Amino acid sequence: MIEIKLRDDYIKLGQALKAAGLTESGVDAKFVIQDGLVKVNHKIEIQRGKKLFEGDLIEFDNQIIKIVK
């Protein structure tokens, strides 16, 4: 499991994928999200700008990312 520590109150989904090193760029993140390959809290999420808060889980490419404070 990869943990991303919040600097602010939230992080956007595309930024989180990039910060975790699972996508090379924001553009790559946009495409994998739009293609329905990313889940947030066990539900497919297609909004790149989805705000993630402490405790949220992201699933992508057999990896789990947890948002921590």
Domains along the sequence of the chain with CATH: 2-68 (3.10.290.10)
d(CA 62, CA 58): 10
Tens place of pLDDT per residue across the chain (69 aa): 999 999 999 999 999 999 999 999 889 999 999 999 999 999 999 998 999 999 999 999 999 999 999
pTM: 0.90
The answer to whether residues 60 and 16 touch, using CB atoms and an 8 Å cutoff, is no
Contact 48, 12 (CB under 8 A): yes
